[in-house]
Amino acid sequence: MAETLELRRTLARQILLDTLIRQLLLITVITAVVLVVVQRVTRPVRRLSENLRLRREDDLTPLEASDLPREIQPLTDATNQVMQRLQQVLDHQKRFVRDAAHQLRTPLAVLKVQVQSALRGDVPAQEALQEMQVTVDRATVLANQMLSLAKVEQVRQLQNFATLDWAEVVRAVALDVSPLIAQKDIDFEIESQPCQVHAHEWMLRELVRNLLHNAIRHTPNRGKLSVLIEPVGSMAQLCVSDSGTGIGDSMRQRLFQPFATGDTKSGTGLGLTIAREIVIALNGTIQLNNRVVDLQIEGLDALVLIPMRHNPN
C-alpha cells in the first residue's frame, strides 16, 4: 500500500514537472513571437523617430507616413499640420526681418546725408533740422507700422478673441484722430449701429485707425469724409469714404502689397497691408472701390465685411 502511494506521488510530480516545462516552453515561444512582431510593427515608428532626431532645426518639411501603421497616421497628420503652421510663422518672421532691414536702411541713409550736409553748412541750420525731423518722423511711423504688422501674426496665433461691439471701437478711434480731421478742416460724418463681432480689440482699433489715417491723408482740405458701420445680413460692414482722387485699377491691387503706396511723400505702404492681414485673420473681406458719380471719380470707398457674432440671448 505504501509503495503504491509513493508511486502515485512520484507520477504526480513528474506530470507537474512535465506540465511546467511545456508551459515554460510555450511562454518562451509566445514571448519570442511577440518580440518579433512588435519589432517589425514598430520599425517604421522607430525609423521616423530617428529621422526626426537627425533633422536640422529649420527643417519643417512634412513627415512621410505612407509606411506607418494606420493607428499612427492621425498623429503624423496632426504633426504635419503643426509643422506647416510653424513654417508659416517662420516664413513670416524671415520676411519681416528682410523687409525691416531693407525699408529702415533708406531713412537712415537719408538722415545720415542730411546730417553731413548740415555739418558742412550746405543748408541753414533751421532748414536742416526741419528736414531731419521729417525723416525721423517718417522712420518712426514706418517702424511702428512694421511692429504692428508683426503683432497681427502674433495675435492671430494666440486667438484670445472676445465678443466686441465694433461700432464702439470705431467711435473711439474716430475721437482719437479728430485732431487730424480738424487740422484739415474736413467735413466729417459718422453713422454707427451696434455690430457684435468676435475679434481682438487691438486688431479692430488698428484696422479702423489705418483706414481712417489713409482716408484723412487723401482727403483734401475742407473735403468730406464719412464713416458708416452697420449690420448687413450676417456680416458687420464698415465703409470709410473719402473725397480724394481715387485710385487706378492696377494701383488698387498693388496697394495691399507691403510698401506699395500711391503717396511716396507721406505714405509708408503698410497701412492697407496691415488692414488686409487683420481682415483675413478675422475671416472677413476688404475692398477699395472708386466712388463714381456722373462718370467722374469723387472719392474712394474702403469697404470691410466681418462676420457678426450673434448674441444667444
String of DSSP letters for 123-136: S-HHHHHHHHHHHH
pLDDT: which is higher, 82 or 167:
167
Q: Which three cell numbers stand for residue 301?
A: 470707398
d(Cα 34, Cα 253) in Å, to the nearest integer? 64
**Residue 14 main-chain phi, psi, to 5 deg:** -65, -40
Closest by CA position to 240, among listed 253, 224, 256: 224
Let me know: does 304 contact 238? Beta carbons within 8 Å. Answer: yes
**What is the DSSP secondary structure assignment for residue 66, as one 8-state letter?**
T
Q: pLDDT of 69-81, one tens digit each?
A: 777 778 778 888 8
Ranges 83-87, 185-189, 308-312: which has the least confidence:
308-312
pTM listed for this prediction: 0.64
What string of DSSP letters covers 162-183?
A: EEEEHHHHHHHHHHHTHHHHHH
Residues of the chain with pLDDT > 70, as a percent, come to 89
Ranges 54-68, 103-117, 247-261, 284-298: which has the least confidence:
247-261
Q: CA torsion sign, 24 to 28 to 34 to 38? A: positive
Please, what is the average pLDDT of the chain? 82
d(Cα 123, Cα 265) in Å, to the nearest integer? 21
Residue whose C-alpha cell reads 457678426 in the numeric block: 308
Q: Reply yes or no on whether the pLDDT at 212 is more than 50.
A: yes
d(Cα 270, Cα 141) in Å, to the nearest integer? 10
Let me know: does 223 contact 229? Beta carbons within 8 Å. Answer: no
pLDDT: which is higher, 216 or 1:
216
Q: Which three cell numbers stand for residue 60?
A: 519643417
d(Cα 18, Cα 103) in Å, to the nearest integer? 87
Q: pLDDT of 224-260, one tens digit each?
A: 999 999 999 999 999 999 998 888 777 766 776 666 5
